[in-house]
């Protein structure tokens, strides 16, 4: 009898313990079910009733408070509506001592999913799409519970929009069948304060509407988009708008009809304007019209004449750097050149070029670095290319969850320090005490710089293997490829030195920057070392700040990166007793892999560069 009771009790206890597979993200609240919640029935009330550890909370609607903001006084949360209450509730759950008024910094806090309708994800490293898949040639049913869990996670960090499909967009997304699916998703996300947006293919009127052209000045084309917008808004009245990749990497756009970006964007802007929609128009454009021009200059050349010509509901969305989400880039000078156009920064959460979901690289320091050059007040929003997929732990690597979290927190408040965000995330994600959290915090904070060191120190860039953007291939060259896809184009190593001369003696990309950066970057003696080889072709014998020659400094930095990963492994091993088994093992396996990769980067790059330097 005694034995049976024990068995039953054990089963009950075990039944309550959830597996630590990472699926709960940073939302690992234990249900206490004790708080009395006064106020309207809503998600905020449900969350607090279940998880708040105090005895009583009051939720109050106060129309004088700004949308999305909230006020906490004692244990009363006031907000204009349920979204504000929800943000207040998650803040209270995270930091029970919070008091006072908070509002999100950026109006647009948006995830960009590069999810294809067939379920694959471009640059996705955590499994297939959580939104899309095919069932034969029909869209698969939406997993409402999963989408709700996604909405909850986003609301807990203040994200208020999501683009549901890849910027390399299939026209099918605008078919009635898919609009219905989008409507279903929107209904799940709406109570969490999240709007849906879609990436659109500029040639949709031809692919879907049977028109012979997609020329933005053509009357039939305009009418087609207006009708499409009307159809969407009839189903989804709070639809956010469109994201557009036009005339970039083979995508159609207004340039196909000798029209400008402004003409293309404005035609779409007019279609969604009656409903309050916006157009996020990407500036990631290079190639076709710019043969021979340094790729990092092309966005400014292409857009500068359009400044001031866009409708007020168009936002120009630009990647943080002028090339393409490298481990380190100087900021993109387009942010200095468009003075009359609202701008958004596109940050990449998915670590395409930072070890993908295999390497532990905490990205908040990189994004904070960007805000040091492009002040948040110059932006109306930030978009983050999502790292979310069907993997049990959502992001592939348990620590990649921290990047999703950090993106949301910085969108809420770009002044938050990377350290505070990492600390919040660690505390919520693992059950660890202060003494164990400190080394993990240090590991996270050093991890991005380590990645730069073992991949591309001193301003090197884009020396990745063709296409998959993971391992090193500094000697990469394919004669029939565009030069700007070839690593040798970016490092320009020869017997004299290494680096891309973008100063006034080279491509003059430095002239696109505002002062003091223009002069600072242009002069080899004042250019910060972290951008040295980005802006200058430097002799092998050049003495860096440390007194080492350039090749010795490269050797030192690759070695430092590898040592850092070794030290991460030590830290992780020391933390073993405090981390649950499954997550510990999974992270450990990836760290070992990261170390192998770091050593491969070190060897491949130093062997190759050494063959020029040490001739
Ligand atoms: C979605 C890079 C990536 C592409 C991506 C593109 C973009 O080229 O490798 O996968 O396409 O950027 O941002 O449009």
DSSP letters, 44-57, are: HHHHHHHH--SSEE
Contact between 378 and 372 under an 8 Å Cβ cutoff? The reply is: no
Q: Which atom of ligand 1 is nearest to the CA of 245?
A: 14
User: pLDDT of 57-67, one tens digit each?
Assistant: 999 999 999 99
> Which pTM value belongs to this model?
0.96
pLDDT score recorded for residue 18: 67
Rounded-to-5 percentages of helix, strand, coil across the chain = 45, 10, 40
Distance 295 CA to ligand 1 centre (A): 14
User: pLDDT of 547-594, one tens digit each?
Assistant: 999 999 999 999 999 999 999 999 999 999 999 999 999 999 999 999
Is residue 122 in contact with ligand 1, taking CB distance under 6 Å?
Answer: yes
- From the candidates 231, 249, 570, 596, give the one annotated as an active-site residue: 249
∠ CA 2-6-11, nearest 5°, is 150
pLDDT score recorded for residue 17: 52
- From the candidates 324, 329, 473, 484, give the one annotated as an active-site residue: 324
Is residue 522 in contact with ligand 1, taking CB distance under 6 Å?
Answer: no
Contact between 604 and 472 under an 8 Å Cβ cutoff? The reply is: yes
- Residue in this structure with the two tokens 């770009």, named with its chain if needed: 414
Sign of CA dihedral 341, 255, 201, 323: negative
Is residue 123 in contact with ligand 1, taking CB distance under 6 Å?
Answer: yes
Distance 167 CA to ligand 1 centre (A): 8
Residue whose CA is at the smallest distance from ligand 1 atom 7: 284
Given its phi and psi angles, is residue 37 left (phi above 0), alpha (psi -120 to 50 degrees) or beta? Answer: beta
Is residue 114 in contact with ligand 1, taking CB distance under 6 Å?
Answer: yes
Is residue 484 in contact with ligand 1, taking CB distance under 6 Å?
Answer: no
Contact between 528 and 483 under an 8 Å Cβ cutoff? The reply is: no
Is residue 295 in contact with ligand 1, taking CB distance under 6 Å?
Answer: no
pLDDT < 70 regions, the chain = 1-18
What is the three-state SS of 184-195? HHHHHHHHHCCE
- From the candidates 352, 484, 553, 564, give the one annotated as an active-site residue: 352
Distance 168 CA to ligand 1 centre (A): 8
Is residue 120 in contact with ligand 1, taking CB distance under 6 Å?
Answer: no
- Collect all residues with Cβ–Cβ distance below 8 Å to 428 and sequence separation of at least 6: 26, 27, 28, 94
Q: Which atom of ligand 1 is nearest to the CA of 167?
A: 1
Q: Structure tokens of 383? A: 């978009």
Instruction: Give, for ligand 1, the residue of 113, 116, 121, 123 to mutate: max count of ligand atoms closer than 8 Å to Cβ.
Output: 123
pLDDT score recorded for residue 603: 98
Is residue 294 in contact with ligand 1, taking CB distance under 6 Å?
Answer: no
pLDDT score recorded for residue 614: 81
Give yes or no: 324 in active site: yes
Q: Structure tokens of 590? A: 């990836």
If residue 557 lies in a helix (H) or strand (E), which one and from where to where?
helix 550-574
Q: Which atom of ligand 1 is nearest to the CA of 168?
A: 1
Instruction: Give, for ligand 1, the residue of 122, 163, 462 to mutate: max count of ligand atoms closer than 8 Å to Cβ.
Output: 122
Is residue 293 in contact with ligand 1, taking CB distance under 6 Å?
Answer: no
């Amino acid at each position: 009898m005694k034995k049976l009771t024990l068995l039953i009790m054990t089963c009950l206890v075990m039944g309550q313990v959830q597996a630590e597979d990472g699926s709960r993200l940073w939302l690992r609240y234990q249900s206490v079910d004790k708080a009395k919640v006064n106020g309207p029935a809503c998600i905020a009330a449900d969350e607090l009733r279940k998880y708040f550890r105090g005895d009583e909370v009051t939720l109050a609607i106060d129309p004088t408070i700004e949308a999305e903001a909230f006020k906490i006084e004692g244990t009363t949360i006031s907000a204009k509506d349920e979204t504000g209450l929800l943000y207040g509730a998650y803040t209270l759950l995270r930091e029970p001592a919070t008091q006072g008024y908070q509002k999100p910094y950026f109006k647009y806090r948006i995830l960009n999913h590069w999810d294809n309708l067939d379920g694959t994800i471009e640059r996705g490293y955590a499994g297939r799409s959580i939104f899309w898949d095919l069932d034969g040639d029909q869209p698969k049913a939406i997993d409402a519970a999963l989408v709700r869990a996604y909405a909850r996670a986003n609301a807990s960090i203040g994200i208020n929009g999501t683009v549901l499909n890849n910027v390399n967009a299939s026209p099918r997304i605008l078919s009635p069948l898919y609009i219905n699916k989008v409507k279903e998703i929107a209904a799940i996300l709406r109570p969490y304060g999240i709007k849906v947006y879609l990436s659109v293919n500029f040639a949709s009127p031809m692919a879907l509407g049977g028109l012979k052209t997609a020329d933005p000045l053509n009357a039939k084309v305009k009418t087609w988009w207006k009708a499409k917008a009307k159809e969407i808004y009839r189903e989804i009245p709070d639809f956010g708008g469109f994201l557009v990749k036009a005339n970039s990497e083979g995508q159609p756009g207004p340039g196909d009809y000798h029209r400008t970006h402004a003409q293309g964007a404005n035609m779409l802007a007019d279609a969604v304007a009656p409903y309050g929609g916006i157009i996020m128009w990407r500036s990631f454009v290079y190639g076709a019209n710019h043969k021979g021009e340094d790729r990092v200059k092309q966005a400014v050349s292409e857009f500068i004449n359009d400044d001031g010509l866009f409708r007020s509901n168009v936002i120009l969305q630009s990647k943080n750097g002028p090339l393409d989400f490298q481990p380190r880039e100087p900021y993109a000078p387009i942010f200095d050149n468009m003075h009359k156009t609202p701008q958004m920064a596109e940050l990449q959460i998915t670590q395409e070029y930072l070890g993908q979901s295999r390497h532990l690289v905490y990205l908040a320091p990189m994004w904070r670095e960007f805000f040091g050059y492009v002040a948040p007040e110059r932006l109306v929003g930030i978009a983050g290319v999502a790292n979310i997929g069907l993997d049990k732990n959502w992001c592939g690597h348990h620590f990649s969850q921290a990047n999703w979290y950090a993106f949301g927190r910085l969108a809420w408040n770009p002044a938050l320090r990377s350290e505070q965000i990492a600390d919040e995330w660690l505390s919520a994600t693992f059950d660890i005490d202060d003494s164990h959290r400190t080394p993990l915090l240090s590991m996270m904070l050093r991890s991005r710089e380590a990645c730069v060191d073992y991949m591309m120190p001193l301003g090197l860039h884009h020396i990745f293997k063709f296409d998959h953007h993971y391992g090193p291939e500094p000697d990469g060259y394919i004669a029939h490829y565009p030069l700007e896809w070839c690593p040798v184009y970016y490092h320009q190593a020869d017997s004299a030195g290494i680096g891309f001369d973008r100063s006034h003696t080279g491509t003059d990309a430095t002239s696109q920057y505002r002062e003091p950066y223009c002069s600072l970057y242009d002069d080899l003696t004042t250019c910060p070392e972290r951008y040295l080889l980005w802006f200058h072709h430097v002799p092998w014998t050049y003495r860096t700040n440390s007194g080492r020659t350039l090749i010795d400094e490269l050797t030192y930095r690759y070695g430092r990166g590898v040592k850092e990963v070794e030290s991460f492994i030590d830290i992780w091993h020391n933390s073993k007793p405090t981390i649950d088994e499954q997550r510990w093992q999974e992270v450990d396996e990836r760290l070992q892999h990261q170390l192998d990769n770091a050593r491969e980067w070190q060897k491949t790059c130093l062997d190759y560069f050494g063959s020029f330097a040490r001739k």
